[in-house]
Amino acid sequence: MKIIITVMVVVAMLMLNGCSSVVDDVEGPADTYIDTGKGVLSDSEFVKQELYNQHRQWRGIKYRSGGLDKSGIDCSGLIYITFKHRFGLILPRSTEEMADIGEFVEEGDWRAGDLLFFKTGIVTRHVGVYIEDGRFLHVSSIKGVIISSLNNNYWRNTYWKAKRI
């Protein structure tokens, strides 16, 4: 019985922590993003191809709160490294800070590269990046780096907002 309670407490702590971690040693200011001139987010075909390439290279990498490499990564970490390495943009490291930048996009007007935000718990937030046809790249706490569908009831019911960088 004691083991079951311990497991339940650990699971609850992980769910509350979610993808909202911050890593202090990551470069770039917390409240702005820096365009290093490498990428072109207005070219949807280029963005889609880069997101699919990112998925192929990171598919299945496990979730790890605060993670920023292939030994484990969290949702904001995946977005951070994707935008930095694929598009030359340095975004804030946390989901909360990412949600504060960019331009609001109406639901359904998304294009490749838009950030999608979800309220997955009382205080937990999750971020992914839209690809196309209702699909987005993100990190699942169970399956790791995956592409999911917004047609899934869970994602449809927890969707919060979208931002365009």
Structure tokens at 127: 């971020």
- Strands of the chain, DSSP E: 34-35, 68-69, 72-73, 89-90, 103-105, 115-119, 125-132, 135-140, 144-149, 159-164
CA 22/CA 107 separation, integer angstroms = 27
Residue 75 is among the residues annotated as catalytic for this protein: yes
Scanning the structure block, which residue is given the tokens 């977005």?
A: 79
CA 80/CA 87 separation, integer angstroms = 10
The identity of residue 135, as a single letter, is R
Beta strands 159-164 and 115-119 are: antiparallel
Active site residues: 75, 126, 138
